[in-house]
Structure 1
Amino acid sequence: MKNKTAKLYEVDLYKPIQNYFIQREYEVYGEVNHCDLIAVKENELIIVELKLNLSVELLIQATKRQRLSENVYIAIPKPNYSLYSKKWKNICYLIRRLELGLIIVSFLKSKGQVEIKITPSHFDRKKSMQMNRNERKRLLDEIKGRNGDHNIGGSNKTKIMTAYKESCIHIACCFERFGPLSPKALRNIGTGKKTLSILNKNYYGWFTRIKRGTYSISELGKKEVKEYPQLVHYYSELIESTSEIK
């Protein structure tokens, strides 16, 4: 039985996987022309690359093996984090995207337990895009809702300008220019169909309800909107160019 504190080696993965395929009537061979494990049954050729950790190098190695067979697996020990986590789901997506298979080996019992998590298969890119068409739409809508590029790609732990925040700035500028307004009056100026939702949710605390159907900018809004001078200037000029409030 493997002790939890015992050091694990790549060779420890070999025997359980060898037994798994032998039980399924494959002939199994180790270290054949730099391939860690080969399983053969009639015309079927399976190649398995063994590693203790999933890495870019392992994925490169496995995709190179796809020159030799459509049935290429990577095998790793069972991770110590949840297989329901976002991290694991993203890993599985990448493996499917590369049309590889995935085997995990658990050493919790006296013998290593083998589980085929992913079987190599064709990845349908068009189907994947179709399934994510709503996410694509949200991406394009976000772009349409922005006026210029106010973020630096790759930024971390910095304030990100979104279409939602731009709408808040636009509404704030309207209040600064005209004073308290109704959602309908704001939409007539051009603040968009989400105006009422933005005012009700008041995510940033920039707005205040004066009375039923009438809103204004809060003291916090007056203070924080000054942090975005370029957009304040843009929307102030835009407001001046719009027609008179109906």
Structure 2
Amino acid sequence: MPETDLSAPVAAFLAAQGYSVKSEVANCDLVAVRDGEAPVVVELKQRFSLDLLLQCVDRLAVSDTVYLAFPAESAGTAWKKRRKAVLKTCRRLGLGILVLRAQPDGSYAVLPVLDPGAYRPRVNAKRRGRLLKEFANRIGDPNTGGSTRVKIMTAYRQDALRVAAALADGGDRAVAELRPEARSTAVAGLLQRNVYGWFERVSRGRYRLTPAGQTALRTYAETVRGLAGTQC
């Protein structure tokens, strides 16, 4: 069962409890936020492993509520043979466990085997701030939890696409002209940093789209349409 197939049932499980859920936020497979509460982080894997455990320990730097999630049918030898020890370890670390079990109709039930305990590791306020900022700034939920070897659609990439779309006519334009069309006050920074190589400085304060930028608009055409009318 691919990790991406785990994303939808776990997201639905959290959404049913009143959480807003987004995928692939700040290197976390799933992040769920509910008013007035710390974020819930879920890491998805095809089976329980040391790598998954270590990954979730790292996520404790951004949230006190972190879950490991994997399907029961392919949970791995460590889980099946040493379940008691695994539960004890996760409990001491303050981690939770969600197990997905296949149903006769082909769907998956999410079973909370262990909820995060009272252990409070030191939370990295800076990393949590970056995670919540990315969650708040990202438009919609354009990624699939558990994705690997694909480019993640971040809030920054969405903002850059908005600016690229404003330059789509092929001419060069001044930053002041682009701000209202791109609906952003951060246009100058995006153009100057030019992280993706989409923009070219023609003269002081004037930019145009590069061939790479034109390719990006074609590649992300559906995303660009979805961003129309949104605010950076």
Q: TM-score scaled by structure 2?
A: 0.47
Q: Point out the structure with max Rg over C-alpha.
A: 1
Q: TM-score with structure 1 length normalisation?
A: 0.44
